[in-house]
A and B are shown apart, each in its own frame.
Chain A
Amino acid sequence: MPLLVRKTLRDYRRALIGWTIGICLFSGMYTSFFPQMRENPDFYSQAALAKYPDGVRKLMGGLENITSGTGFLQAVVYQLFVPLLFTMCAVVLANRALAAPEESGTLELTLTLPVDRKRLVLERFAGLAVALLVVAVVSLAVLAILGSAVGLDVSFDRILAAHTGLYLLVLLFGTLALAVGAATGKKALAMSVAGAYAVVGYVVNALSADVEVMKWLNVFSPFHYYSEGNPLVNGFPIGDYLVLLAATAVLTLTAVLSFDRRDVGV
């Protein structure tokens, strides 16, 4: 593994452990509620319908079928909270790649190493991608094991398909933050842009079934490509995932080119 990637991962280590534990605890805790839910299916689906007004429920992905293993997993893990948490993780880690060290001044010495700027950005991106992959793999393992323990009865390849989508989704937001940081060197800006895009993208996707404009806007929402194919039911939506990957590639290229062109630390 290249030195710079290794160094990036070493710098991420503590944060990475924290986020991994957080995300696993969160999804694990919710998954472990499943047996209760299965015991009282009527009560919980009534409660879910009653508890939230219509609009909110739509934002939460409908909350239908939450008493089946697939519906439950979709609602409590893949719909909102875990993508949100994981996106935050991605954006925070992405900021530590360029924008944060630039603001603190530590990037200057790194830049004066005999490493091409393009390569520096690429290796920092690789470090981010590997770090997020670690979180994804560990949380996938926790979900798969816990899921079979509580009798979710969702096959591993479906969970894998959904989790792959989750990984590609957060990698996209992380790369967006990286690109904004690479272009501007401002971590607050990078965080706001990525955060706003995630929130707006989510809302647009959630409302796209009902609101006509949202339907058109939805082609720009990463959540559309993340959830449209319903991977927990249908397996890998290859085309949709390729769109997410392509967007990440474009953003990476943007990051590389814009960082190569500008003054650093100004």
Chain B
Amino acid sequence: MTAVVETEGLTKFYGKRRGLEDLTLEIHPGEVFGYLGPNGAGKTTTIRLLLDVIRPTRGLARVLGADPRDAAIRGRIGYLPGELALEGREKASEYLEFLAGVRGGVAKGRIEALAERLEADLSVRMGQLSKGNKQKVGLIQAFMHEPEFLILDEPTSGLDPLVQQEFLAMVREVRTAGRTVLMSSHVLAEVEHVSDRVGIVRRGRLVAVEDIAALREKAVRKVELHFDAPVPEEAFRDLPGVRELKVEGASLRCTIDGRPDALIKAAARFTVVHMVSAEPDLEEIFLTYYSEDVHHAPVGA
């Protein structure tokens, strides 16, 4: 199977300003790829390069097996711009029909169905749409022709929580149908429940590509154990992966890196009456990528 996106040393400088440097990345068919990074990291730059809105300073990109300059492939892509601008007196529904027409038409009733799901009012003139409603129109146009590959630049910005949930459901359906998604975001929480993999960019460089399942395994989680009698601290000291250990009488608190196996086995020697384990906090790992210069992190597909 050919990769949906394949880049090699993809680099973009805006004059002297670095937008993106040396991006080598592969996105596989059927996966949802979360593209994460703080403001100005280079997410939009990457996406615009893939869509041939801007041209690389050097490096290569292939999308759906073709050069991004090949206009024909863009009919197989659905794109939501990060800075979506819609204006004018035209009604949203007319604009959507125009876009559908240029892309060779969409299934009958498809636009209406999407509008209903996202609760978008398409009879409003585009210049008068609220921010959230613009975003909905943007989502509808990206999804309506059931493209093989969806590129969504900060898709959830401006959406209220209920609509965000609906949107995530739409992404899951796309994945179930075997199609591919690239979506960018500032926060992991937005993409972690739908993504298979995430890539993290900082200051124009890809600093990590992680499998979400693997990330979850590595994640720090807080654990609390309560025993029927006080336990000795020595029994838990120096267990692999256990940090911030605090034993107070019959209760134990710690954080775990990765697997809780060693802790569980150590605890099994005593009588556990109660155990609390918080959801792994991926955000915490993620923030370390944001704030430090992480060069040793695994890079590549």
A108:B81 contact, CB within 8 angstroms: yes
Contacts of A108 in B (CB 8 A): 48, 53, 81, 83, 85
Of chain B, the residue at the smallest CB distance from A265 is B53
**Whole-angstrom distance from the CB of A127 to the nearest CB of chain B?**
13
Q: Mark B71-85, 1 if CB is under 8 A from A, else 0.
A: 111110101010111
CA–CA, A157 and B87, complex, Å: 43
With A3-B101, A3-B102, A114-B71: A105-B83 Cβ-Cβ less than 8 Å = yes
- A264 contacts B54, C-beta separation under 8 Å: yes
Q: A3-B101, A114-B71 are in contact. Are A263 and B81 (CB under 8 A)?
A: no
Ordered nearest first, which 9 A-B pairs have the shortest CB separation?
Answer: A105-B85, A114-B75, A263-B54, A116-B71, A114-B74, A106-B85, A112-B79, A113-B102, A112-B51
Chain A contacts for B79, CB-based, 8 A: 109, 112
Complex CA gap A106/B280 in Å reads 41
Query: Chain A: residues with CB nearer than 8 A to chain B?
Result: 3-4, 7, 10-11, 14, 104-106, 108-109, 111-117, 119, 262-266
Contact in complex: B84, A262 (CB < 8 Å): no
How many of chain B's residues have a CB under 8 angstroms from any CB in A?
30
Can you offer 25 A-B residue contacts whose CB atoms are under 8 A? Answer: A3-B102, A4-B102, A105-B83, A105-B84, A108-B53, A108-B83, A109-B85, A109-B99, A109-B141, A112-B79, A112-B81, A113-B75, A113-B99, A113-B102, A114-B103, A115-B71, A115-B74, A115-B102, A117-B71, A119-B71, A262-B55, A263-B54, A263-B55, A264-B53, A265-B54
Q: Are A113 and B103 in contact (CB under 8 A)?
A: yes
**Residue B279 lies at the interface, judged by CB distance under 8 Å to chain A:** no
Q: Give the A-B pair count, Cβ closer than 8 A.
A: 70
Chain A residues within 8 Å of B88, by CB: 11, 106
Does B90 lie at the interface of the complex (its beta carbon under 8 Å from any beta carbon of A)? yes
B184-195 CB mask vs A (1 if < 8 Å, else 0) is: 000000000000
Which of chain A's residues have a CB closer than 8 A to the CB of B53? 108, 111-112, 263-265
B159 partner residues in chain A, CB cutoff 8 A: none
For B90, the chain A residues whose CB sits under 8 A away are 10-11
B254 at the interface (CB under 8 A from A): no
Question: Within the assembled complex, what's the spacing in Å between the Cα atoms of A113 and B81?
Answer: 12
Q: A11-B88, A113-B75, A264-B53 are in contact. List 13 more A-B contacts (CB 8 A).
A: A3-B98, A14-B89, A105-B81, A109-B79, A111-B51, A112-B81, A114-B73, A114-B75, A115-B74, A119-B71, A263-B54, A263-B55, A265-B54
Bound: A10/B101 CA distance, A? 15
CB distance from B146 to the nearest CB of A (A): 15
B124 contacts partner chain A, Cβ-Cβ < 8 Å? no
Give Cα A109 to B48, complex, Å: 11
Smallest CB-CB separation from A103: which chain B residue?
A: B85
Complex contact B85–A104 (CB within 8 A): yes
